Structure formats: structure tokens, C-alpha cells
Amino acid sequence: MSEQNLTKNQDLVLNQLGKSKTPMSAYDLLDKLREKGLKAPLQIYRALDKLTEMGLAHRLETLNAFVACAHPNCHENELIAFGICENCNKVWEFSDDEVSKRLDLWAKERDFTPVKTSLEIRGICAKCA
């Protein structure tokens, strides 16, 4: 299940994220990957940095946790949004061109240069309602 040219640690972390149905914190990942030889938080954080740069994983700011990207080559999309169920912790990844457009417009009107946008809707999903 290796993707691209991931290093050993990156591959371990991405696989573990991929197996999880819900977001995992760096320390969740570390606990799971100790048996594979990883010993320190930094090994996890460094792998996560690269994976998020590559668009293979995403950081959820409201949870301090990470998910594997749900789409192939997601980092083509400028804006990625997440719905997060506070009961079952499932995450839905989506994007919306109209939202992107409106935020771009806000930025243009102020000569603000966006670098990274975070959009997370916390709530309760249909199943949990």
C-alpha cells in the first residue's frame, strides 16, 4: 500500500492513518507504531509534516489530529473543508467552489495573500442524531 516515494516512517504513518476510521493524534500514531520501531514523537511529526505537504494527509486543527486524505491527489484543490461528528468522530472531506470563490474575493479586496485555509464544521452526523 506504499504510495509514491515515501520513506519508511512516512509509509508507516500513512498506512496507520489509512486503517483508522477516525482521526488520530500524533501520540495515538506513536502508540500504534511503537511495535514497528518508532520511539519518539518527532519521528511521527516529521512524517506528518511531509505527508501533509504532499497532500496525502490532513491536519484537523480543531482536534489536533490527522486523517489520511480521502481523495486522490487532493492537494490540487485549494480549499479543503471537513465535517466532523463530535459523537462518532467520523470525518467527511469536501470542497466547495462557491465557498472558495467567496473567500478568494474577500482576500482580493484586501490584498491579502492566502497561504492555508482551515475550514471545519463540528457537529452531529445523521447516524448519531
The contact mask relative to a second copy for 53-92 (x = CB under 8 A, - = no) is --------xx------------------x-x-xx-----x
Q: Is 128 in the site for Zn ion (CB under 5 A)?
A: yes
Given a contact cutoff of 8 angstroms between Cβ atoms, the answer to whether 77 and 95 are in contact is yes
Q: Is 85 in the site for Zn ion (CB under 5 A)?
A: yes
Among the listed residues 88, 105, 107, 121, the single contact to Zn ion using CB under 5 A: 88
Given a contact cutoff of 8 angstroms between Cβ atoms, the answer to whether 52 and 92 are in contact is no
| Min dist. Cβ of residue 52 to Zn ion (A) | 10
Among the listed residues 50, 52, 75, 104, the single contact to DNA using CB under 7 A: 50
Other CB atoms within 10 A of residue 47 CB: 26
Among the listed residues 15, 25, 52, 100, the single contact to DNA using CB under 7 A: 25
Q: Is 26 in the site for DNA (CB under 7 A)?
A: yes
Among the listed residues 9, 14, 80, 91, the single contact to DNA using CB under 7 A: 9
| CA distance linking residue 38 with residue 15, whole number of Å | 14
- Own/partner contacts of 75-81, CB < 8 Å, gap of 24 or more, are 78/117, 79/103, 79/117, 79/119, 80/119, 81/119, 81/120, 81/121
CB neighbour list of residue 53: distance below 8 Å, 6 or more residues apart: none
Sites of contact with Zn ion (CB under 5 A): 69, 71, 74, 85, 87-88, 125, 128
